[in-house]
Amino acid sequence: MPVSSDLKKFSKAFIIILVCIVLADFVIGSALAHLYKIQSSGLLYRANYAKNVTTADYLVFGSSRANHHYDPKVFEQELNKSFYNCGRDAQGIIYTCAFTSSVINRYKPKGIIIDVRPNEFTITDKGTIASLLPYKDDKLVSRYFEYNGPYENIKTLSHIYPYNSLLTNLLVGITSFNKKRTEDYKGYQALKSVSKSKTLTEFAEHNEVDTAKVTYFKQLLTQLDIENIPTLVVISPLNYEYIDGPTVEILKKECAGFKSIQFLNYAHDPLCKNPLNFSDKYHLNDKGAAIFSEMIVAKMRLL
């Protein structure tokens, strides 16, 4: 009898604790989700706007190199069309595939630029998809969670989990808290500094190809081609002596099979040789971005 009574007490206490945990997860997670939705500036606001709001004629997707290399003012002035920069720091092709797929399911842009990192397919995106987790209810996004492992979709059953690494950004993205926010123009963040580097060092790939990323990328190209959306896939300039490797070969091969898609490699352009065009060896400054944007405009006129 005492054993049975103790078991009942334990079971009751366990159930109460479990219910409290579930309720706390729901309440806190719902508050964080609301905070995410009301962002008015900063990184998370730009992500929300790019995915759910923009109807710009032209878009660019990619990493920090996309974010800093494509100036919407140049595109708008030259093409007389709207432009939004959807690039995001510290992201790769998984983020690009997820966001591009979702956006083109919402509306059809006149053209898209996908900026690809020069070593995209020989570096991993594992551990970077936290930026996608707040969009777990979008099946076009959540299908990429499996890249991070077989349990990622189970983890997102928690309401808190998608936001557990974003609290600082969530607070910074509310204007009243964000007194020193970095200004942007339609998603583009200009870099003002000038690189101090005087020499060109070698940039080459040495790791194995991430075949999962290649598969996801090809699926995206297929979707863009089916939608008949003119697309430029671009390796933008970098201040290195770039050695063409697996990433270039993959881009050449995969893009060649689609009528609406063109691959452009600017990693050897004369622009790369002048450090005055760069903020650091990997990113153009605002002067370099303006020059490079003009070059891309010339290509877009031919789409």
Is residue 29 a part of any domain in this protein? Answer: no
Looking at residue 63, its amino acid is S
Domain presence at residue 268 = yes
Do residues 87 and 66 lie in contact, with contact meaning Cβ atoms separated by under 8 Å?
A: yes
Q: How far apart are CA 136 and CA 158, in angstroms?
A: 11
The structure's pTM equals 0.92
Number of folded domains that form the chain: 1
Q: In the prediction, which pLDDT does 181 show?
A: 57
Intervals of the chain under pLDDT 50 = 1
Q: Is 278 helix (H, G, I), strand (E, B) or coil?
A: strand
pLDDT of 242: 97
| CA distance linking residue 161 with residue 166, whole number of Å | 10
Output the pLDDT for position 178. Answer: 54
216 falls within a domain: yes
Q: Can you give the pLDDT at residue 1?
A: 46
Cβ atoms 193, 239 nearer than 8 A: no
Give the pLDDT confidence of 133-147 residue by residue, as tens digits: 999 999 999 999 999
Rounded Cα gap, residues 155 and 133, in angstroms: 10
Domain CATH code at residue 70: 3.40.50.1110
The answer to whether residue 49 is domain-embedded is: no
First to last CA, the chain: 81
Does any domain span residue 211?
yes
What range defines the domain where residue 114 resides? 57-127+140-149+185-300
Other C-beta atoms closer than 10 Å to the C-beta of 224 total: 22
**pLDDT tens digit sequence for 200-211:** 999 999 999 999
**Ordered DSSP codes for 25-90:** HHHHHHHHHHHHHT--SHHHHHHHHHHHT---SEEEE-SHHHHHH--HHHHHHHHSS-EEE---TT
In a domain, 243, yes or no: yes
175 occurs within a structural domain:
no
Best CA proximity match to 163, nearest among 7, 296, 30, 283: 30
Q: Considering the domain boundaries, does residue 193 fall inside one?
A: yes
Left if phi > 0, otherwise alpha if psi is -120 to 50, otherwise beta: which for 62?
A: left
User: Residues near 233 by Cβ (< 8 Å), separated by ≥ 6?
Assistant: 114, 116, 221, 251, 255, 261, 262, 263, 264
In this structure, what token pair is assigned to residue 126? Answer: 């594992």
Backbone angles phi, psi at 133, to 5 degrees: -60, -35
Q: Are 124 and 210 in contact (CB under 8 A)?
A: yes
